[in-house]
Structure 1
Amino acid sequence: MTTFATAETKDADVNGTKFVYRTLGPKDGVPVLFLHHLTGVMDDWDPRLIDGIAASHPVILFDNRGLGGTDGIAPATVDEMAVDAVAFVNALGIEKVDLFGFSLGGFVAQAFVQREPWLVRKIILAGTGPAGGEGISGVGALIQNAFQKAGATGKHPKHFLFFTETAEGQAAGDEFLSRLEERTENRDAPARDETIGAQIAAIDNWGGSEATDLSTVEHPVFVANGDKDIMVPTVNSFELAKRLPNARLSIFPSTGHGGIFQHHKLFVQQALEFLR
């Protein structure tokens, strides 16, 4: 059976731009389209999460425009990213998807479903928030601080961006980062500097924009986060669950932005129940 570590990297022509992607899981059923975090490429997904969901559902991973193996220049707005995601789904000839948006990918998922609601069955929004949400802008300063801490401690910036600084949180960060190395062949290229700048601009723009009317999103939505998220403050998850008319909420205690990775077993169980 194909796994996260062994899935073939394919490419598709999306309006003249080469997008790279991977598929795994069963061939039948509505596929789960994964939408990634800031600078995230396919190799940055947690294998436990991907393989766990792919055990029951078709899964599609892809690199956004200008990231990893996908050509082009990275968009500087969430709406442009959503347009790309819709075009990618159409290029694959898929009639309906479930959306899984983590962090920046959660912003894109919201823009996607508001643009093309008929393409979507269900939505998972993890570690994310609504347009104009509290504390979303200014992520560049958080990233700079995390890089400074990483340099001083010999750790990875994700230790500080995704996990709490408790012993338990840092141990979870170690385990998560170790899992990201399980795919050893045909790995993605890292994000380029210009891509990082464009995506930070997109996040700042989303955080500084006016709130959108989420009451029109009638799809089932599963919102999840850690209770100590500093990248997209946890209050935004509560706000999403309140404003989306058909939402359920799961908050993991004593965890940060990467709570779904720290508690991947429980989260996958919850996600599979939701996606049935």
Structure 2
Amino acid sequence: MKPAAFLWLLLTSALSWTSHAADRGAAISAAAAATRYVTVAGDKIAYRRIGHGPTIILANRLRGTLDTWDPLFLDRLAAQYTVVTVDYPGIAYSEGKLPDNMADAAKFIDDFANAIKAERFVLLGWSWGGLVAQTYLLDHPQRVTHAILIGTNPPGQNEIPLQQVFLDRAFKPVNDLADEEVLFFEPASEASRAQAKASHTRIYARSDVAARIPSTPEEFAPYFKAAEGFRQDAEGRRDRLAQARTPILVISGDHDTSTAGQNWFPLIGKMQDAQYIFFSKTGHAPQHQHPVLISNYIHSFLSASH
């Protein structure tokens, strides 16, 4: 081979490798991911995308923002999937108005998926986002390949209500680590408190995280109204969920003072294609207490169920 041809081969191989690495998003972590914007129903909506592979869209909790997901959990998922986080309308980096009913919140997810050109995807919902995810998979079953429900309640009336100890801290304008231990972890467990501190440190490595978290009664009101409608269940979602054919993974902690995992016990045996993981000494954010283990469970679920 002539020297010029050899050099050209080396150059094109290097460019090909560089392009492949970029496509995989290998250099982008959740902590460093840039905020992107897309227009949804006339509103400028903020989202982030990391990883490579089948798409997982994450629906956030009450008061959750792009910044409040544990980046280690996102990074572990992004090793095998395209992970998309999004701010609801009117929340944090997004413009617009937060929907005050679950049907409209689910429609937002559908419109957002269209805007980012995600035809089929996995939908993961945490807490309030789990209510959104359940509504979406019932309203748009053709688009969701799998649903993952973390720290959330099923539709309708549930035996164990939200507890006062959660309410006492949930709506402070700013929650510190001590609040988070109560809200999302198991404060009686030394191991859980240690994981709370580690997760808090990872999340707050970004600047100005607290500044964008909803903090006023006016911002809370649409969350409450939508959740109450989900609980009243005039649409019969509880019965419809039991008949849903979409593979569903439910992940709960045994010390969830907001959406008790035990509320799934009457329903889980009636569901058509569901798996249930129940963690001991774990609170409302099992994916932040066990980010590596839960990402592995999610991969096993997605790999095994079709």
User: 2:127 touches 2:259 (CA, 8 Å); kept in 1?
Assistant: yes
Higher relative contact order (CA closer than 8 Å, sequence separation 6+): 1
The residue type equivalent to 2:202 in the other structure is R
Partner of 1:268: 295
Partner of 2:89: 65
Match of 1:181 among 204, 226, 235: 204
The residue type equivalent to 1:8 in the other structure is A
SS at match of 1:112: helix
SS at match of 2:269: helix
What are the ranges of 5 or more consecutive residues in structure 2 without an aligned counterpart? 1-26
User: 1:137 touches 1:208 (CA, 8 Å); kept in 2?
Assistant: no
Q: CA deviation at 1:241?
A: 2.8
Give the Cα separation in 2 of the matches to 1:54 and 1:46: 13
Residue 100 of structure 2 is aligned to residue 76 of structure 1: yes
Partner of 2:260: 233
Q: CA deviation at 1:215?
A: 3.1
Give the Cα separation in 2 of the matches to 1:180 and 1:55: 19
The residue type equivalent to 2:99 in the other structure is P
Identity of aligned residues (%): 27
Give the Cα separation in 1 of the matches to 2:178 and 2:151: 19
User: 2:172 touches 2:215 (CA, 8 Å); kept in 1?
Assistant: no
Alignment RMSD (CA, Å): 2.6
Residue 214 of structure 2 is aligned to residue 191 of structure 1: yes
TM-score, L = length of structure 1:
0.89
Partner of 2:186: 164
Give the Cα separation in 2 of the matches to 1:243 and 1:2: 41
SS at match of 2:142: helix
Compared with structure 1, are the counterparts of its residues 221 and 191 closer, same or farther at alpha carbon in structure 2 (3 Å cutoff)? same
Which structure: larger Rg? 2
1:247-271 CA distance string (max 9 Å, x none)? 1111111111122221222111101
SS at match of 1:117: coil
Partner of 1:18: 44
Give the Cα separation in 2 of the matches to 1:187 and 1:146: 15
Compared with structure 1, are the counterparts of its residues 76 and 172 closer, same or farther at alpha carbon in structure 2 (3 Å cutoff)? same
Compared with structure 1, are the counterparts of its residues 82 and 176 closer, same or farther at alpha carbon in structure 2 (3 Å cutoff)? same
Q: CA deviation at 1:184?
A: 4.0
Q: CA deviation at 1:142?
A: 4.8
Q: CA deviation at 1:96?
A: 0.5
Q: When the two structures are aligned, how many residues end up with a matched partner?
A: 272
1:31-63 CA distance string (max 9 Å, x none)? 000000111001110111100000000111100
TM-score, L = length of structure 2:
0.81
What are the ranges of 5 or more consecutive residues in structure 1 without an aligned counterpart? none
The residue type equivalent to 1:47 in the other structure is P
